[in-house]
Amino acid sequence: MSAGEKIVILNVDDLESQRYVKTRDLHAAGFAVIEAQTGAEALRLIEQHRPPLVLLDVQLPDISGFEVCAFIKTKWPEVMVLQTSATFTASEDRVSGLNAGADSYLVQPAEPVELAAAINALLRVRRSEDALRALNATLDKQVQARTEELEQANRKLREEVVQRQKAESQLLQSQKMEAVGQLTGGLAHDFNNLLTAVVGNLDLIRARATEPRIARLAENAFKAAERGSKLTAQLLAFSRTQKLATESVDLNRLIMDGYELLKQSLGANIAMQTDLHPSAPCVVADYNQLEVSLLNLAINARDAMPEGGILTITTACDATDDRKVVLSVTDTGTGMSPEVIARAFDPFFTTKPPGKGTGLGLSQVYGLVRQMGGDVAIKSEIGKGTSIQLLLRRSNVSTETATEAQGAAERGHAERILIVDDDHDVRGLMTDFLSDIGYVVHEADHGAAALALQKTVNPQLMIIDFSMPGTNGAEVVKAARAVQPSLPVLFVSGYADSAALEAAMGTAPFLRKPFRPAELASAVRTTLDAGGGSKP
């Protein structure tokens, strides 16, 4: 209601004279008035105009004033009712009026000032009630807003606590891995040295045994020691102390090259599928080691799907870090509990029965990837499956350049190469391949033969097995360099740990068995091109 607009009062009375007097008095007091003669008409006018106050005579021809009042209060509680009657003489009447919901009552005839004062008093009450209600509403709103603010702050706090706990447990986990890594690294080095001696001596015993029984025993011991060597190699991988031959690796190619082997290892029950990013950048990796890791992951997946399932190998660019490429191996197997996830990378942690798993697969994968500057993540849900993600460092070499480099410029130009290896098959393989691609190859199966041959051949490169029985590779090289001081040498070795080689030869070029012919070609080319200054 705008200022200056008059307040409307509904005056309900069937007696014209009384109605007239009241209307006149109301006009005089500054109100606007509408009139009704019956209860029904009154209700209709209220419905239509919603006057703030009804002046209601108790005696009406159709409905009793009390009933009209009760009806108003139920339907429009905000409309005030001032009852008037000449018969408000008995206190019961006043009581029933108030009980019916009337806000006040007035005995007729009333003085004009008394009527105006009564109405104004009621309107004042109504106004303060309204103000109170409005205040209440804003208070409610304020409390609600404040509660929401507090809830939000609380939520944020809880999130921060969770984040913090997560960061703390990540830190703990990485500290644990660091400590376990150092421990196993130290142990594995010592064991590797011991095993080298054991394997070497057993090999000699085996070769010299005249009695078949002794030869058999030596053979058994030799095999066990070799298994030990394999284990130490895995431990060395975990402790990140193995020597890596890192290069720029095209992941998609690595997966496609290994596809058949992987498929075979999975068995017929498991479907294998790939989802390869067509232009996934190359990564910095040791090709052979990464291939072994992929196989490890596939075998884990197979073991987790005894009833069969699907294995998916994916390459993708990391969404958050463009320096990383993600290689993931996902299965639809049993999944891992949070407890198993927390310990999965620990060396020797396995849930498999004795003889089925050593618990070194994932620790090896972890160590390798970390050593290559990447990271490993496990996402797994019990009953749904597992996804192991290797985040690998992208290399600056483009896929095309890497592929080209793998094929070109590796050929020989009749350079003379002296191959020294006691293993007949390996030696033959190297000789055949290197002759095929344009080198002139001479071979020797032990140190002394090699040194004798060197004098006649005057080689431009010596490829030598580091770990030969008798005189080891380092000693042969020393003797050869006494004759040709800057003879380039490429070592090949089956040992995962090259600590002994490094101790003997420093940072000599090195090729780990087993290698692919292309790797041999590339290593030979690189070593020759780097040159040792030897004259042809």
Ligand X SMILES: Nc1ncnc2c1ncn2[C@@H]1O[C@H](COP(=O)(O)OP(=O)(O)OP(=O)(O)O)[C@@H](O)[C@H]1O
Residues interacting with ligand X, by CB under 6 A?
A: 296, 300-301, 304, 331, 333-334, 336, 340, 344, 349-352, 357-363, 386
In the complex, the smallest distance separating the C-beta of residue 240 from ligand X, rounded to whole angstroms, is 16
In the complex, the smallest distance separating the C-beta of residue 207 from Mg ion, rounded to whole angstroms, is 35
Q: Which one of 292-300, 383-391, 461-469, 519-527 is the stretch in contact with Mg ion (CB under 5 A)?
A: 292-300
- In this structure, what token pair is assigned to residue 347? 């060396």
In the DSSP assignment, the letter for residue 76 is -
In the complex, the smallest distance separating the C-beta of residue 330 from Mg ion, rounded to whole angstroms, is 16
Pairing mode of beta strands 375-381, 324-331: unpaired
In the complex, the smallest distance separating the C-beta of residue 296 from Mg ion, rounded to whole angstroms, is 5
Distance CA 275, CA 197 (A): 46
In the complex, the smallest distance separating the C-beta of residue 339 from ligand X, rounded to whole angstroms, is 10
Residue 258 as a binder of Mg ion (CB under 5 A): the answer is no
Distance CA 67, CA 63 (A): 7
Pick from Mg ion, ligand X, none: which does 119 bind, CB < 5 to 8 A by kind?
none
Residue 347 as a binder of Mg ion (CB under 5 A): the answer is no
Q: Which is nearer to ligand X, 234 or 395 (CB)?
A: 234
Query: How many residues of this chain interact with Mg ion, rule: CB under 5 A?
Result: 2
Pick from Mg ion, ligand X, none: which does 350 bind, CB < 5 to 8 A by kind?
ligand X
Q: Which is nearer to ligand X, 334 or 498 (CB)?
A: 334
Pairing mode of beta strands 510-512, 440-444: unpaired
Q: Which one of 209-217, 223-231, 358-366, 488-496 is the stretch in contact with Mg ion (CB under 5 A)?
A: 358-366
In the complex, the smallest distance separating the C-beta of residue 362 from ligand X, rounded to whole angstroms, is 3
Q: Which residue is nearest to Mg ion (CB)?
A: 361
Which of 348, 320, 347, 333 minimizes the C-alpha distance to 379?
Answer: 333
Residue 300 as a binder of Mg ion (CB under 5 A): the answer is yes
Contacts (Cβ under 8 Å, ≥6 apart) of 119 = 9, 26, 29, 31, 53, 55, 82
Contacts (Cβ under 8 Å, ≥6 apart) of 267 = 302
Q: Which residue is nearest to ligand X (CB)?
A: 361
Q: Check: CB of residue 337 under 8 Å from CB of residue 209.
A: no
Distance CA 388, CA 327 (A): 8
Q: Report DSSP letters for 78-106, one per residue.
A: TSEEEEEETTTTSHHHHHHHHHTT-SEEE
Residue 334 as a binder of Mg ion (CB under 5 A): the answer is no
Q: Which is nearer to ligand X, 143 or 261 (CB)?
A: 261
Q: Which is nearer to ligand X, 315 or 334 (CB)?
A: 334
Q: Which is nearer to Mg ion, 201 or 351 (CB)?
A: 351
Contacts (Cβ under 8 Å, ≥6 apart) of 107 = 84, 85, 86, 88, 89
Q: Which residue stretches of 239-286 are H helix? A: 251-266
Q: Which is nearer to ligand X, 344 or 496 (CB)?
A: 344
Q: Which is nearer to ligand X, 300 or 399 (CB)?
A: 300
**Separation of CA 447 from chain center:** 54
Residues near Mg ion (CB under 5 A) are 300, 361
